[in-house]
Structure 1
């Protein structure tokens, strides 16, 4: 029988355009988010027994350098890299240590210091991790550069052609997320755009009608979460503000990623579906029980197809949720109240931990102007191609 896991403290920096804050390096980012999480938990660093630190761009032991800003107590520190799901992978590992009885209090921290512009490869002398995905998709769609918007745009086009959704639905999703971010002081962008402004922005992948305002930006920033066992929560009288991770699953690529001749599966829909199904099965929750969701909208088409992967809509029906206003305030769920990756920003190693922070604030009732009324169940989805997805369900400890 596994032990219960609780989030007892969260913290994050404001997400910023790369290089906007002069001299803002990753140790300073980690110090800010980590100390916020420790202060939120009300514990000193010397009670942390393990730290799992996520980043995609950086030298091999940057995790140690980052954690040393918080303290140097000799604890195990692991460096985590899982593409865009890096932050939630650090969260998964920190939770696993508690779930397995190896620790009573752990820290998950993620950061990224990025270069402006589209993502690039770091090494040109070896096989690229996404080469299988790119080659498979190139057999279905003519290659376009940059690869990331092409891949997710192709998945959106597949949904359009199969089920009758349109690029207008992508624009509506982006408009919603930019509107949500206006209430998030941590968001990189806090501007509200009309639907026409979203559609008329600079084109990134014309075939799918994908504009700049439908795409997540590169960002600098950091997020952190302090996790604890039930015993630790009880011993320190933390139950009133603790949030339980009631279910969590990580899934990597399966044969269906490549064998179904589907761009939707190549960008991880089957991974997401399997992870969500595992979480629902282990918790007894259903999509109808969920109130608020942070999901991986790296590009607006991915939010659309993820509605179906998470069970919010049946196959081919995700766009109906958009048309009905089911994924914003006043609808069936509030999806990406933070503004999502599209507007909050996407510092790769920090994204999953920023999602965790938002879910924790929502369930505590601490989300201020973006608070979802009566939120009791939260769901988080974070995906990285190449590939891994983590889905996590949360409920207040004293429910």
Structure 2
């Protein structure tokens, strides 16, 4: 049997607007990593390996970031998996521990971004063919390119397709943003902490129809980290009260369905559905067992698509789920209590690890004003175009 893996320490910086703070990527990485180690109550020299995620930067920036924590000669892996980078680093850390290779691994993710909308490729450069060119080709066959940010176009067009096919409304899309901005008011780490009415969301500047500014995740600077350890390490160091078990984790990539001509499918719904099926089988838990969820709401439509992919609603019913209040406090689940990517921010390499940090705090009962009552099981969902969908199921450690 595989060894169990536990998160015993998490840390993150406040997510901030690019260039709003005078710091470098290794400064933010040091802050997040130091907080995670302090949360675990362990010294850096106990860390045996470190997968480090980022999308915008040069090779071995992972080492430069880790060197701020110590110079112990451990292996450092530089990870880039588009917007799913942070959760991919966490998955590697878990695999090292579950496989018996290590007892203590630090997963770290950071991003220092530029102002303005992100292009279609995260970190792509030179003359290489775009890794998401095929994806955008599917979109362009149905909705021609216009003068708008590429990622907003592809997700906005997925929203248009969902509206045309199922009758989803602009109000339902906007309600996702209303909820997540409202949740962020209680998150000191969030880039934005302002609440907006439905009317304000709908009246905001249009980025690409039907998506307005407050329905789109911003570019962000920030870092997050998690200390992942074995059960033996937990017991030897007396960390039972800190430990949150990673019950199961899975990663999927695009299937043939992604390229069947549907914009809904090309932005990742099929791989999210497959990841959900796999993680429920691996964990022995279903969506009905989950209390709190951090999912990838890069745009409001993607939260609705993810409801459907996770089995929270049937295809076409995601808009009704948000309208019924099922995904906020007092509902069946609390989704994105952190404010999600839309309001908390989206520094690509850090996003997945920030999701894990929020779930860890929730399951420990340490989420302060945004605490989900009696949260026992948490779920994370993080996707990147190109593509990868990473999901995790978590519960408080049982010893």
TM-score, with length taken from structure 2 = 0.98
Alpha-carbon displacement from aligned partner over 1:106-149 (angstroms, at most 9, x marks no partner): 00000000000111355242201110001111112222331101
Helix, strand or coil: the match of 2:9? strand
Q: Distance in 2 between matches of 1:157 and 1:332?
A: 27
1:139 is paired with a residue whose SS is: helix
Q: Map Cα deviations across residues 200-224 of structure 1 (whole Å, 9 max, x no partner).
A: 1111012xx2101000000000000
Name the Cα RMSD after superposition: 1.0
Structure 1 CA distance for aligned equivalents of residues 283 and 353 of structure 2: 22
Match of 2:162 among 145, 159, 177: 159
CA contact (8 A) 1:240 1:398 kept: no
**What is the number of residues matched between the two proteins?**
395
Matched with 1:170 is 173
Name the residue aligned to 2:316: 316
Shift of 1:319: 1.3
Query: Which segments of 5 or more consecutive residues in structure 2 lack a partner in the other structure?
Result: none
Question: C-alpha distance in 2, partners of 1:241/1:125?
Answer: 47
Q: Distance in 2 between matches of 1:218 and 1:148?
A: 12
**Alignment of 1:104 onto 2:106:** no
1:126 and 1:229 mapped to 2: Cα distance?
Answer: 40
Q: In the alignment, does 2:239 pair up with 1:245?
A: no
| 2:60 is the alignment partner of 1:58 | no
Aligned partners of 1:327 and 1:334 also within 8 Å: yes
1:226 lines up with 2:189 in the alignment: no
**Residue 36 of structure 1 pairs with residue 39 of structure 2:** no
Q: CA deviation at 1:261?
A: 2.0
Q: Secondary structure at the match of 2:168?
A: coil
In the TM superposition, what whole-angstrom CA distance separates every residue of 1:356-392 from its partner, at most 9, and x where no partner exists?
A: 0000000000000000000000000000000001000
Larger mean CA deviation between 143-152 and 353-362 belongs to 143-152
Q: Secondary structure of 2:142's match?
A: coil
Structure 1 gap ranges (5+): none
Q: In 2, Cα distance between the equivalents of 1:363 and 1:156?
A: 33
Query: How far apart are residue 325 of structure 1 and its match?
Result: 0.2
Q: Following the alignment from structure 1 to structure 2, what is the Cα–Cα distance between the partners of residues 289 and 135?
A: 39
User: Aligned with 1:264: secondary structure?
Assistant: helix
Q: Which segment drifts farther, 123-132 or 360-369?
A: 123-132
User: What aligned pairs does 1:43-82 form with structure 2 within 5 A after superposition?
Assistant: 43-82=42-81
